[in-house]
């Protein structure tokens, strides 16, 4: 097992390296930040000065090696927009998004497993139809639309929740509800399908024949077998939460990393883009490794593949 | 509907112990919603609305303040001033004023602030927007007297100094600061990245003490959310909400924001190199139809790049009528003369330039297509838009109509004319010897003469050259909560003096 | 193991193909019995008609502005029938725009999903079957793409290239390749140890033959279900791009762009954003319900299972 984790981490490092190369060069293709930060009448001299200060005057590969060198010392460069180290900017924003994800995912998983398996218990039944309908609505509604409608309904009409911002736990209710929507919708579908398959497999039938109460069958035997794809999709959705976070943070004025990333692209703040992608990727890789380890524990075959 | 809402409200209050109680505003604290958050809070960047609206005249003050209504200047940190020669001005400073950090406000600090602002190591917008090309130095005569010397006569120096925020000498030179130290009625408290900025009343303020003690600034990019915050009482004032969100005349107040929108036409490139084609372009846009629909009905049709409150504005110019038939006729005439009027013109917009600007360019493009223009619409983000807007222009670019919005809240046309129309102006599409001379002459003149020369410049550009398609002098909607008594003015484009906010009913 | 539907557990033998006409009749009659699937299929047919004919029939109406009746409310009998769903901020018919936009929307979502399905599926087959270094490299690449937030990737790519239809398709397709790769690989991993594959191998069948004749058909049901869900995802990301101001550019229209433009009017004219949003929702729902039915109807084993478990 230790060997497996070691190998898996090494592989993740490889992916991380790939990602870093990708983001470094892609970001630089979007154009020079000089125009954004320098006055309209900037002289050539001022441009040179600016480019020199942030190292944009060197060939791109030199910039890349300098970036790698800095990386080894946890120095990811200076943010142009904030005039402070990019790491600092990113680490200030990261906890908010992490918190959003950390609250969202458990809710999503619990709701999806309960709803999905209840739906699978009697496919085509009333509960299944309703659950399918609602989950598909959840999976197909644009989240910014839900977010704004949510503000109008719950904050302006009903006055039960604050419109936006952070502060009290109440401020987190709407953003998290919006973030939950799509992953829950998708995951309910997945749980349902897996459960239907699992329910008809031989050992569940055996259990049924033995006369164990039906409900127990669903939750104990079938669920365990249905769990693999659920974990997989859940981890994919967890990674996808950053997408949702971009929009939720924009609408609700949350100081998270999703909005920071997009703003940094708009403002060509390369150092921040790199640092932000690196930090989120690290988080995603950790999730992936945990998921893979879970697999390996559940299904020994995977360890060897 | 109202009854329905009320009953829902009752139901909800019964169900939940209202979580909103904790957020109610106390009497002497205000929360203000801005459309975007600051990236720095440097005193030398106050002309940027996102920074100025927080700190200008609240945290940092200027020597001179602009009175937009009377188009004149009034003393602030300077008690009086006089022009001692065409190129020198002497300013007498207010005595007994202290910075928030305890250092005294004196001539040395004024000199320091000017030097810091003009330092090329720092791209201060105050320098680049207002002091560009002005060779100016300051000298302390005594503790409370400063002498400014310019290389060439600068008749509007006080206007210029209304843009220079004075910061403590402890503000470092050569790097931006995130913690402004000024002399204003409010002391900077904190800035939480991506979240809020807080300022607090400064007890050692030299002037009258304002009523409001604490102010928190937050930002929401979605206008509907910003409007909702004020409606629910979470905030007291939202700076700019979209016209369609300004539904409550009691709270939603309109004010000119000194922004003027226009299409800049590439007058050198076919087919826009023909004056008839440019006239047709102007005639094809039904500007009035936008007012009251996607643009506020309080906006004004523009004929030039500066608004009526700016010295040099020419009020005699008449807005283009909407005349699609005439536009078609002009295009036909140009075509007959061999102008390739079928050539594609690139219309360049930018999302979020103003409320509903996407809809605006889409509609304008349709109107132009209707008279026979071939328009390709491109909405570019900031960096790409700047590349298209600024010189050097790309070689071999196609004809374009670039949507720009220019704000001049300095009160003088100088900061517009050179940059937009002089041959050497960074965003100028024209190079006309007569325009160049008019602009140069106007810059040296003062008073009536100055106004006249600028007015002639704008007339010539508008009527004779038809260099661009002026659109609107824009307005903003500010939503002011019921707790406050406040009427916004054009000054609020770049500042909001908390001292001028009146709390109606302290709770 | 990124499958949305777990691999069928006991389908060990390749089923003998039935005679085509009778299979078709079977499916048709099964569709007639399942009302939900029937309605979904009917709706998808309507959408396809809009996709094919919409722009030719209604392009002008979708562009015709009338600022006088901006944000006109829906269900008004005073206006022409095209305004039955109301008008948008520029006074254009929402109905006409939805119909015309269906082409771009479906083109983008369909092409993007199909591209990622084909590329991801093929790579997944190879990765699953070959294993070893190739599999490892492909998986690391997939990891790298997956951990790059797809909205961010899209934003960067669309800044570098023009945000036209083709580039939006390209970037969405690339960002969704990994999910298909992983799903297919996981299925193949399990299938390749099965009896029919090992026997085919023993009989000397070539690798491509085994992959495409024996393994690929077994993976298809899962992939089709996944693709139906992915359609929704792609439409939503495309809408998100418009929300951030860098998606499809007018005068091109998509449902995503319409929702995004309409969000500014949710408080004053809900219909502008609601109808295109509903269109996205209904298409997603129909695709999923239809693909669920298809999976069951085309796979006798599954059908038998459903009947048993629902007894």
Per CB-CB distance under 8 Å, the chain C contacts of B227 are 267
| pLDDT higher than 80, residue C41 | yes
Q: Is A44 on the interface with B (CB under 8 A)?
A: no
Do B366 and C63 count as a contact with CB atoms less than 8 A apart? yes
Average pLDDT (B29-49) is 89
Tell whether A157 lies on the interface with B, counting CB pairs under 8 A.
Answer: yes
- Helix spans in A200-222 (H): 202-210, 214-216
Instruction: Give the per-residue pLDDT at B327.
Output: 95
Rounded to whole angstroms, how far apart are CA atoms C76 and C78? 6
Looking at chain C, the whole-number percentage of residues with pLDDT higher than 90 is 11
Q: Measured between CA atoms, how close is B324 to chain A, in angstroms? A: 36
What letters, b where the CB count within 10 A reaches 16 and e where it falls short, cover A192-210?
Answer: bbbbbbbbbbeebeebbee
Tens digits of per-residue pLDDT, C112-121?
A: 999 999 999 8
Q: Does C133 touch chain A (CB under 8 A)?
A: no
Query: Which residues, 6 or more positions from C178, have their beta carbon under 8 angstroms from its beta carbon?
Result: C120, C141, C142, C143, C145, C146
Q: How do strand B344-349 and strand B400-407 relate by DSSP bridges?
A: parallel
Check residue A191 and give its pLDDT.
85
Selection from B38, B15, B473 nearest residue B239 by Cα:
B38
Please report the pLDDT score of residue A40 as a whole number.
60
Q: pLDDT band for position A1 (50/70/90)?
A: low
Chain C residues at the B interface, defined by Cβ less than 8 Å, are 63, 65, 67, 70-71, 89-90, 159, 245-246, 249-251, 261, 263-269
Highest-confidence segment of B68-77, C114-123, C243-252? C114-123
Question: Best interface-test mutation with C: which of B1, B5, B224, B295 has the largest number of C CBs within 10 A?
Answer: B224
Instruction: List CB contacts (< 8 A) between B229 and chain A.
Output: 163-165
The complex scores an ipTM of 0.82
For residue C238, pLDDT over 90 is answered with no
Q: Which chains touch B (3 or more CB pairs under 8 A)?
A: A, C
Q: Is the pLDDT of residue C138 over 80?
A: yes
Supply the mean pLDDT for chain B.
88
Q: Most C CBs within 10 Å: which of A9, A27, A136, as the mutation test of the C interface?
A: A136
If you compute the radius of gyration of chain B from its CA atoms, what whole number of angstroms results?
25
| Per-residue pLDDT tens digits for B86-99 | 899 999 999 999 99
User: Chain C contact for A36, CB < 8 A?
Assistant: no
| CA–CA distances in Å: residue A229 to residues A103, A169, B441, C186 | 21, 33, 76, 10
- B46-50, B104-108, B313-317, C210-214 — which is least confidently predicted? C210-214
- Where is pLDDT greater, at C295 or A59? A59
Residue A160 and residue A154 in contact, taking contact as beta carbons nearer than 8 Å: yes
User: Considering only B488-497, C191-200, C245-254, which range has the smallest mean pLDDT?
Assistant: C191-200
State how far residue B220 is from chain C, nearest Cα, in angstroms.
Answer: 13
Tokens of C271: 């219909």
Locate tokens 């365990």: which residue?
A224
Interface of A with B in 3-42 (CB under 8 A): 30-31, 33, 35-42
pLDDT (0 to 100) of residue A74:
81
- pLDDT tens, position by position, A203-229: 666 666 666 666 666 566 677 767 767
A157 and B5: CB-CB below 8 Å? Answer: yes
Q: CA-to-CA distance for A37 and B18, rounded, in angstroms?
A: 45
* Chain B residues close to A87, C-beta within 8 Å: none
Contacts of A163 (CB under 8 A, 6+ apart): A151, A155, A156, B225, B228, B229, B232, B234
| Average confidence score pLDDT of chain C | 79
Worst-scoring range by mean pLDDT, A48-52, A151-155, A243-247? Answer: A48-52
A201 in contact with chain C, both atoms CB, cutoff 8 A? yes
What integer is the mean pLDDT of B259-267? 94
* Pairwise CA distance, residues C49 & C51, whole Å: 5
**B104: confidence class by pLDDT, cuts 50, 70, 90:** very high
Inspect the interface and report whether the beta carbons of B225 and A162 lie closer than 8 Å.
Answer: no
Contacts of C243 in chain B (CB under 8 A): none
Mean pLDDT, residues C169-174 taken together: 89
Instruction: Report whether pLDDT(B428) > 80.
Output: yes
Distance CA B462, CA B207 (A): 46
| pLDDT value at residue C12 | 37
The reported pLDDT for the residue numbered C218 is: 75
Report which listed range, A26-35, A284-293, B337-346, is most confident: B337-346
Is A250 within 8 Å of B19 when comparing Cβ atoms?
A: no
Between CA C166 and CA C177 the distance in angstroms is 17
Q: Look at residue A304 and tell me whether its pLDDT is greater than 70.
A: no
CB contact under 8 A, B12 and A89: no
pLDDT of residue B453: 93
Mean of pLDDT values over A73-79: 84
pLDDT tens-place string over residues B302-343:
999 998 888 899 999 999 999 999 999 999 999 999 999 999
Task: For residue A9, count other CB atoms closer than 10 A to its CB.
Answer: 13
Is C268 close to B247, i.e. CB distance below 8 A? yes
* pLDDT for A213: 65
Across the interface, of C9, C152, C236, the residue whose CB is closest to A262 is C152
User: What pLDDT is recorded for position C58?
Assistant: 84
- Residue recorded with tokens 């945000």: C163
pLDDT tens digit sequence for A81-127 = 887 889 999 998 999 999 898 899 889 989 998 898 888 877 778 89
Is the pLDDT at C10 greater than 50, yes or no? no
pLDDT tens-digit profile of B222-246?
A: 888 999 999 998 999 998 888 888 8
- Residues belonging to chain B with any Cβ–Cβ distance to chain C shorter than 8 Å: 222-224, 227, 242, 244-245, 247, 286, 289-290, 293-294, 351-352, 355-356, 358-359, 361-363, 365-366, 377-379, 381, 383-384
Q: Do C65 and B366 touch (CB under 8 A)?
A: yes
E strand or H helix at B201:
strand B196-201
The C-alpha atoms of residue A115 and residue A189 are separated, in whole angstroms, by 9
The minimal CB distance from C2 to the residues A236, A250, A281 is found for A236
Report the C-alpha gap between A124 and A136 in whole angstroms.
15
A18 to chain C: which residues are within 8 Å by CB?
A: 140-141, 144
**Min distance A170 CA to chain C CA atoms (Å):** 23
* DSSP one-letter code for C59: H
Residue B467 has pLDDT above 90, yes or no: yes
Using CA atoms, how far apart are residues B49 and A70, in angstroms rounded to an integer? 36
Query: What distance in Å separates the CA atoms of residue B486 and residue B475, rounded to the nearest whole number?
Result: 17
Closest in A122, A141, A262 to C281, CB measured: A141
Which has more pLDDT, B275 or C146?
A: B275
Task: Give which of A159, A250, A257 to mutate to test B binding, by max B Cβ within 10 Å.
Answer: A159
Query: What is the percentage of chain A residues whose pLDDT exceeds 70?
Result: 87
3-state helix, strand, coil in chain C (%, to 5): 75, 0, 25
pLDDT of residue C8: 38
Q: Residue B26's pLDDT is what?
A: 61
Respond yes or no on whether the N-terminal peptide bond of residue B392 is cis (omega within 30° of 0). Answer: yes
Residues of A in contact with B387 (CB under 8 A): 31, 35
Å from C120 to nearest chain A CA? 16
Higher pLDDT, B263 or C37: B263
How close B261 comes to chain C (CA, Å)?
19
At B387 the pLDDT is: 83
Over residues B277-293, the pLDDT tens digits come to 999 999 999 999 999 88
Which three-class secondary structure state does DSSP give residue A103? helix
User: Does A48 touch chain B if contact means CB atoms closer than 8 Å?
Assistant: no
> Does the beta-carbon distance from A141 to C235 stay under 8 Å?
no
Residue with tokens 């060069």: A25
Query: Per the CB < 8 Å rule, is B232 touching A163?
Result: yes
**Residues A76 and A70: beta-carbon distance below 8 Å:** yes
């Amino acid at each position: 097992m230790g060997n497996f984790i070691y190998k898996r981490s090494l592989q993740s490092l490889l992916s991380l390296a790939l990602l870093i190369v990708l983001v470094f060069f892609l970001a630089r293709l979007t154009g020079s930040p000089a125009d954004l930060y320098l006055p309209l009448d900037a002289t050539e001299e001022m441009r040179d000065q600016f480019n020199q200060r942030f190292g944009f005057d060197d060939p791109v590969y030199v910039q890349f090696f300098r970036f790698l060198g800095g990386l080894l010392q946890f120095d990811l460069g200076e943010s142009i927009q904030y005039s402070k180290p990019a790491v600092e900017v990113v680490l200030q924003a990261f906890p908010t998004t992490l918190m959003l994800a950390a609250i969202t995912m458990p809710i999503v998983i619990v709701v999806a497993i309960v709803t999905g398996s209840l739906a699978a218990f009697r496919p085509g039944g009333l509960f299944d139809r309703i659950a399918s309908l609602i989950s598909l609505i959840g999976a197909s509604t644009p989240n910014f639309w839900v977010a704004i409608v949510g503000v109008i309904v719950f904050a302006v009409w009903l006055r039960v929740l604050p419109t936006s911002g952070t502060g009290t736990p109440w401020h987190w209710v709407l953003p998290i509800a919006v973030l939950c929507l799509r992953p829950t919708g998708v995951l309910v579908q997945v749980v349902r399908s897996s459960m239907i398959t699992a329910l008809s497999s031989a050992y569940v039938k055996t259990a049924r024949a033995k006369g164990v109460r039906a409900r127990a069958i669903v939750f104990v035997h079938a669920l365990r077998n249905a769990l693999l794809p659920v974990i997989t999709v859940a981890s994919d959705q967890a990674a996808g939460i950053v997408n949702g976070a971009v929009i939720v943070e924009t609408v609700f004025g949350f100081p998270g990393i999703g909005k920071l990333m997009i703003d940094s692209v708009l403002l060509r703040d390369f150092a921040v883009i790199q640092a932000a992608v690196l930090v989120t990727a690290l988080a995603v890789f950790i999730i992936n490794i945990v998921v893979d380890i879970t697999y390996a524990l559940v299904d020994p075959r995977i360890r060897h593949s | 509907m109202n009854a329905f809402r009320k009953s829902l409200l009752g139901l909800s209050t019964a169900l939940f112990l209202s979580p909103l109680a904790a957020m109610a505003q106390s009497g002497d604290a205000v929360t203000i919603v801005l459309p975007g958050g600051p990236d720095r809070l440097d005193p030398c960047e106050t002309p940027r609305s996102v920074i100025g609206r927080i700190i200008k005249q609240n945290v940092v003050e200027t020597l001179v303040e602009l009175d937009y209504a009377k188009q004149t200047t009034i003393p602030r940190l300077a008690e009086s001033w006089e022009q001692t020669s065409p190129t020198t001005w002497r300013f007498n400073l207010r005595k007994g004023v202290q910075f928030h950090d305890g250092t005294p406000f004196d001539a040395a600090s004024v000199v320091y602030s000017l030097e810091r602002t003009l330092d090329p190591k720092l791209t201060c917008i105050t320098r680049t927007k207002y002091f560009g090309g002005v060779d100016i130095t300051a000298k302390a005569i005594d503790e409370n007297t400063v002498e400014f010397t310019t290389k060439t006569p600068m008749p509007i120096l006080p206007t210029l100094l209304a843009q220079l925020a004075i910061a403590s000498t402890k503000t470092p030179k050569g790097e931006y600061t995130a913690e402004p130290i000024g002399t204003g009625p409010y002391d900077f408290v904190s800035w939480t990245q991506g979240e809020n900025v807080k300022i607090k009343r400064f007890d050692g303020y030299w002037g009258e003490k304002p009523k409001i003690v604490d102010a928190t600034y937050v930002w929401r990019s979605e206008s509907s959310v910003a409007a909702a915050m004020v409606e629910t009482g979470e905030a007291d004032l939202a700076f700019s909400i979209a016209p369609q969100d300004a539904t409550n005349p009691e709270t939603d107040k309109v004010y000119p924001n000194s922004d003027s929108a226009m299409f800049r036409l590439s007058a050198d490139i076919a087919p826009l190199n023909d004056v008839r084609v440019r006239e047709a372009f102007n005639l094809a846009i039904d500007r009035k139809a936008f007012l009251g629909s996607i643009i506020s009905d309080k906006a004004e049709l523009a004929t030039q790049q500066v608004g009526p409150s700016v010295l040099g504005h020419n009020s005699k110019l008449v807005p283009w009528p909407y005349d699609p038939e005439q536009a078609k006729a002009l295009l036909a005439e140009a075509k007959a003369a061999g102008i390739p009027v079928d050539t594609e013109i690139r219309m360049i917009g930018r999302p979020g330039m103003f409320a509903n600007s996407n809809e605006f360019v889409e509609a304008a493009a349709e109107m132009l297509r209707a008279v026979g223009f071939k328009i390709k619409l491109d909405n570019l983000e900031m960096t790409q838009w700047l590349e298209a807007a600024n010189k050097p222009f790309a070689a071999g670019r196609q004809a374009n109509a670039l949507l720009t919005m220019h704000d001049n809240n300095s009160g003088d046309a100088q900061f517009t004319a050179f940059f937009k129309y002089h041959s050497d102006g960074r965003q100028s599409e024209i190079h006309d010897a007569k325009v160049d001379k008019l602009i140069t002459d106007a810059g040296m003149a003062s008073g009536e003469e100055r106004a006249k020369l600028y007015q002639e410049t704008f007339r010539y550009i508008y009527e004779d050259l038809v260099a661009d398609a002026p659109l609107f002098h824009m307005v903003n909607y500010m939503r002011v909560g019921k707790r406050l008594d406040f009427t916004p003015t054009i000054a609020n484009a770049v500042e909001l003096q908390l001292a001028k906010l009146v709390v109606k009913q302290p709770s | 193991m990124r499958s949305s539907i777990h691999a069928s557990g006991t389908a060990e033998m390749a089923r003998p193909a039935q005679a085509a006409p009778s299979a078709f009749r079977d499916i048709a009659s099964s569709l007639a019995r399942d009302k939900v699937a029937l309605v979904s299929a009917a709706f998808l047919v309507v959408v396809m008609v809009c996709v094919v004919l919409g722009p030719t029939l209604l392009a002008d109406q979708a562009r015709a502005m009338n600022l006088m009746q901006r944000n006109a409310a829906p269900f008004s009998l005073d206006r022409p029938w095209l305004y039955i769903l109301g008008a948008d901020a520029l006074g254009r018919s929402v109905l006409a725009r939805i119909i015309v936009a269906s082409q771009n929307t479906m083109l983008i979502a369909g092409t993007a999903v199909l591209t990622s399905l084909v590329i991801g599926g093929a790579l997944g087959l190879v990765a699953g079957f070959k294993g070893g270094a190739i599999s490892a490299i492909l998986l690391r690449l997939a990891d790298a793409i997956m951990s790059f937030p797809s909205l961010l990737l899209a934003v960067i790519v669309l800044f570098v290239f023009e945000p036209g239809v083709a580039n939006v398709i390209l970037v969405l397709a690339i960002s969704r390749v990994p999910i298909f790769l992983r799903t297919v690989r996981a299925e193949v991993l399990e299938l390749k140890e099965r009896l029919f594959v090992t026997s085919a191998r023993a009989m000397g069948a070539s690798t491509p033959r085994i992959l495409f004749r024996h393994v690929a058909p077994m993976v298809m049901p899962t992939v089709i279900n996944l693709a139906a869900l992915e359609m929704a995802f792609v439409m939503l990301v495309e809408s998100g791009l418009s929300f951030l101001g860098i998606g499809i550019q007018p005068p091109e229209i998509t449902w995503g762009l319409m929702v995004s433009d309409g969000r500014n009017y949710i408080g004053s004219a809900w219909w502008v954003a609601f109808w295109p949003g509903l269109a996205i929702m209904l298409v997603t729902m129909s695709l999923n319900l239809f693909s669920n039915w298809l999976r069951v109807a085309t796979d006798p084993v599954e059908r038998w299972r459903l009947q048993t478990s629902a007894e």
